[in-house]
Chain A
Amino acid sequence: MKKEEGIFKILSQKPWEASQAVIDNDHDGKTFGISKAKLGVRTIMTVSTVIFSLFIVAYADRMLIHDWRSMPEPWLLWVNTAVLIMNSYFFHNVKISADQNNSKEIKRGLYTVGLLAYSFLIGQIIVWYQLLSLGYFAASNVANAFFYLFTALHGLHLLGGLYFWGRVTSKFLKGNYKLPSVQHAIELCAIYWHFLLFVWLVLFGLMLFT
């Protein structure tokens, strides 16, 4: 869309010089050639990455202390993971149908991803329930506490995504939408979903191997 300048190049400009002024006058006032919403989603993903990374650091630090007792991973977690992978995959498909403006497919796809996302959340709650009934309380060992914390935070992120999914879907169903805006919204949701899948795989892997 446009030339993107590196940060060092920007920082070495001399805005007071006549030759630079000629170039600068031509500038359209945007730093990146992407929409504000996309930049917003990227920023949010960056902040979330920092949050999860700090939790992982805390996990790694706390793990080394003598009282740590790892927690079993119920088989249902594998199912949930599979559901989340499918969820991402279908979101990718919705994005493709949106790009092709295939409204029947878009509609079907949006329903599918919503359904999968909610079943993932329900699956996670069932895992919680199973673990609690086996006596793995948050207070009994900190490994359990980390498990509940990670799943809860990841779930909350997914709920946030579902809010925007709901807005796109209802707009789409009402029919009075402008195509580019729906395409863009679906694209952004898809990016976010892939991000959440990645986060989950990292968290799940971490808990699996420790």
Chain B
Amino acid sequence: MSDEFEHKIETKADTIADAGSVTSGSTAGIDYVPAHERPDQELYHSHSWWTTYVFSQDAKYIGIQYALTAIGTGLIGLVLSWMMRLQLAFPGLGILEPSSYYQFITMHGMIMVIYLLTALFLGGFGNLLIPLMCGARDMAFPYVNMISYWAFLLAVIILLASFFVPGGPTGAGWTLYPPQAITSGTPGSSAGIVLMLISLCVFVAGFTMGGLNYIITMLQSRARGMTLMRLPLTCWGIFTATVLALLAFPALLVGCIMMTLDSLLGTSFFMPAMISMGEHLSYDGGSPLLFQHLFWFFGHPEVYIIALPAFGIISDLISVHARKNIFGYRMMVWAIVGIGALSFFVWAHHMYVSGMTPWFGYFFATTTLIIAVPTAIKVYNWVLTLWRGNIQLTLPMLFSLAFIVTFVNGGLTGIFLGNVTVDVPLSDTYFVVAHFHMVMGIAPILVVFGAIYHWFPLITGRMLNEGMGRIHFWITFLGSYAIYFPMHYQGFVGVPRRYFEIYDSPYIATSTLHLNVFITIAALIVGAAQLVFLFNLIYSARAGEKSEKNPWKANSLEWLTPEMPPGHGNFGKELPVVYRWAYDFNVPGADKDYIPQTVPPSEVRSAKVEKT
């Protein structure tokens, strides 16, 4: 890091010539900006193909590397889900062994939550958007940022390597609860689980390096005039999620380290005295509950690590595509920060059936319901932003609308499950599977799609194909409901989660068997629609319609770079100067329906200012 000490210390006086105020004397009054000293960020310049594209220190390339790796891993997670669905629908065909079914749910769950969504939102969109939206040339510590990506890739490789070790990957469920995770009888209880734990540790280490960059860049290298409260909500979402991740991932790390030692050295951190296959194991006194607390102290904030960037991105998409300023910007920021803080006090709602005292449960039920308040505020504000907006039914807008509906749906079932008395019978049924797929599977994925359709021109200079996009949207949106709505019902009639086959049992209605076939067919169709999307990505990147600059007429800085896609250093010779927030859409009196953040007041004299 110490190379980077240099350019932080020498304050090379670099006065920003203000384009707006110097040109004509008459305008100098209103957009006067005093000349200020500003430390110049010394930019790292790569010299070879390798350092430009592979070992790149440019946040834009790192973001794309993160995104491609995450999506590639996510596709594996998707294929795993197909296999599981086929097994559930047609148990007679014997597609999966019971042990592989467990291994597949575990890998699917972990891949989707950590290696796809966390990596994509923070590593992918974070790297791509933070420097551009803040008006910085690059991240604060580009070298550390690069290492962060390679650590992520290493974590993915270790994770996937566990498919090829003796015993295969771990089948302990994505929650990895000990003692069963490392006790013989669970698939992958020796090599598989250790690789999983090591992979998670590497991921956390790599993420910490990236997270350091995201928050410090946002705090310390914004453009002139860019106050925190002028940042687009995307930045607020990513920022708060990163803070959560830096504080929550340690719990996962601590749990993983201790479990690795239990497994390799035979310590008894989590392992109680046990008899396995008639033999006393050498463990004694360990506390499996301790692991559950550590895991969920990470696990619940993790939900918001995925959700907060999604909230932020969706706010910007809605505002841009409804041509209206976001309703209640400040309240949106408060809600993001408030949700972030509260998310550390709800973890034990995942443990109602773990045997803890019910009083504890009531405390956590209360906090869980409290956290629903800021979340609901956000939903109201999105809807109020749409109210009387000039709604453009573009692809990003369609995905945003779908997100709102899906998120509300998943959120409502979450309120059910947050209550101890309701959760106890429903826990470990398909109701839970339906709930969390709606709220943290489908909803964030819809945001990811919306965001890709929105920012694809920024990355490639071309638009994604609209027709293919619409096919992709409708199949994905309707298909997800076809998959997950029936699961709520299955949960009510008591179909248990994590069962590789629903036997002919008098307690299970036959309708669930038919539903299983229906759900699987829907899942296969939705999966196939993703191939359309992938094809669209590849096709449009090469031969898509060329995009004009700032195709959505947005205000935020990422669209205001001199070239599109932005070049090395992002902003050409002069860094931008910011005069307003990112939401000046349809300002009364202005000639155009949007005023980019860099437009000084003198150029929009007739625009009226909002009073609140």
> Contact flags (1/0) for A76-115 with B, using CB distance below 8 Å?
0000000000000000000000000000000000000000
Given A43-B212, A138-B265, A145-B261, the answer on whether A36 and B227 have CB atoms closer than 8 Å is no
- A28 pairs with B38, CB closer than 8 A: yes
The contact of B5 among A10, A58, A185, by CB within 8 Å, is A185
Closest CB in chain A relative to B542 CB, distance in Å: 37
- B219 pairs with A26, CB closer than 8 A: no
- A17 pairs with B220, CB closer than 8 A: no
Interface residue B140 (Cβ < 8 Å from any Cβ of A): yes
Given A10-B228, A164-B1, A168-B2, the answer on whether A32 and B610 have CB atoms closer than 8 Å is no
Interface residue B254 (Cβ < 8 Å from any Cβ of A): yes
The contact of B4 among A14, A37, A142, by CB within 8 Å, is A37
Given A15-B227, A24-B225, A164-B1, the answer on whether A55 and B337 have CB atoms closer than 8 Å is no
The contact of B267 among A15, A43, A138, A184, by CB within 8 Å, is A138
Chain A residues with CB below 8 A from B1, complex form: 37, 40, 164
Given A17-B610, A24-B225, the answer on whether A139 and B250 have CB atoms closer than 8 Å is no
A127–B250 Cα gap in the complex (Å)? 27
Closest CB in chain A relative to B435 CB, distance in Å: 28
Closest CB in chain A relative to B463 CB, distance in Å: 31
Interface residue B325 (Cβ < 8 Å from any Cβ of A): yes
Interface residue A30 (Cβ < 8 Å from any Cβ of B): yes
> Contact flags (1/0) for A30-44 with B, using CB distance below 8 Å?
111001110110011
A14–B147 Cα gap in the complex (Å)? 38
- B222 pairs with A29, CB closer than 8 A: yes
- A36 pairs with B8, CB closer than 8 A: yes
> Contact flags (1/0) for A145-159 with B, using CB distance below 8 Å?
100010000000000
Given A54-B294, A142-B268, the answer on whether A167 and B2 have CB atoms closer than 8 Å is yes
Interface residue A133 (Cβ < 8 Å from any Cβ of B): no
> Contact flags (1/0) for A45-69 with B, using CB distance below 8 Å?
0110011001100100110011110
Closest CB in chain A relative to B222 CB, distance in Å: 4
Given A40-B212, A55-B254, A142-B285, the answer on whether A16 and B10 have CB atoms closer than 8 Å is no
- B229 pairs with A10, CB closer than 8 A: yes
Counting chain A residues whose Cβ lies within 8 A of the other chain, the interface size class is: 35 or more
Interface residue B246 (Cβ < 8 Å from any Cβ of A): yes
Chain B residues with CB below 8 A from A65, complex form: 285-287
- B34 pairs with A17, CB closer than 8 A: no
- B609 pairs with A13, CB closer than 8 A: no
A149–B259 Cα gap in the complex (Å)? 12
Closest partner residue, chain B, to A188 (CB atom): B5
A28–B13 Cα gap in the complex (Å)? 13
> Contact flags (1/0) for A1-31 with B, using CB distance below 8 Å?
0000000001111111110010011111111
Most buried by A among B141, B229, B284, B286: B229
Interface of A: prevailing SS: helix
Closest CB in chain A relative to B605 CB, distance in Å: 12
- A11 pairs with B333, CB closer than 8 A: yes
Interface residues of B in 69-86 (CB under 8 A from A): none
Interface residue A210 (Cβ < 8 Å from any Cβ of B): no
Closest partner residue, chain A, to B337 (CB atom): A11
Interface residue B580 (Cβ < 8 Å from any Cβ of A): yes
> Contact flags (1/0) for B322-339 with A, using CB distance below 8 Å?
000100011001100100
Closest partner residue, chain B, to A142 (CB atom): B268
A40–B223 Cα gap in the complex (Å)? 20
- A27 pairs with B330, CB closer than 8 A: no
Closest CB in chain B relative to A198 CB, distance in Å: 18
- B257 pairs with A149, CB closer than 8 A: yes
Chain A residues with CB below 8 A from B284, complex form: 67
Most buried by B among A28, A31, A145, A149: A28
- B34 pairs with A26, CB closer than 8 A: yes
Interface residues of B in 571-597 (CB under 8 A from A): 578-581, 583-584
A43–B225 Cα gap in the complex (Å)? 25
- A37 pairs with B222, CB closer than 8 A: no
Please name 8 pairs of A and B residues whose Cβ atoms are closer than 8 Å in the assembled complex, sorted by A: A13-B229, A26-B225, A30-B222, A31-B228, A47-B246, A50-B246, A54-B254, A145-B265
Interface on B for A, CB 8 Å cutoff? 1-2, 4-6, 8-10, 31, 33-34, 36, 38, 134-135, 140-141, 208, 212, 215-216, 219-230, 246-247, 250-251, 253-254, 257-258, 261, 265-269, 282, 284-287, 290, 294, 297, 325, 329-330, 333-334, 337, 578-581, 583-584, 601, 609-612
Interface on A for B, CB 8 Å cutoff? 10-18, 21, 24-32, 35-37, 39-40, 43-44, 46-47, 50-51, 54-55, 58, 61-62, 65-68, 138-139, 142, 145, 149, 164, 167-168, 171, 178, 180-181, 184-185, 188
* Other A-B pairs, 20, CB within 8 Å; known A51-B253, A62-B286, A68-B285: A10-B228, A11-B337, A12-B330, A16-B609, A26-B225, A29-B134, A35-B8, A36-B4, A37-B8, A40-B141, A40-B212, A51-B250, A51-B254, A54-B250, A54-B254, A62-B290, A145-B269, A149-B257, A178-B6, A181-B9
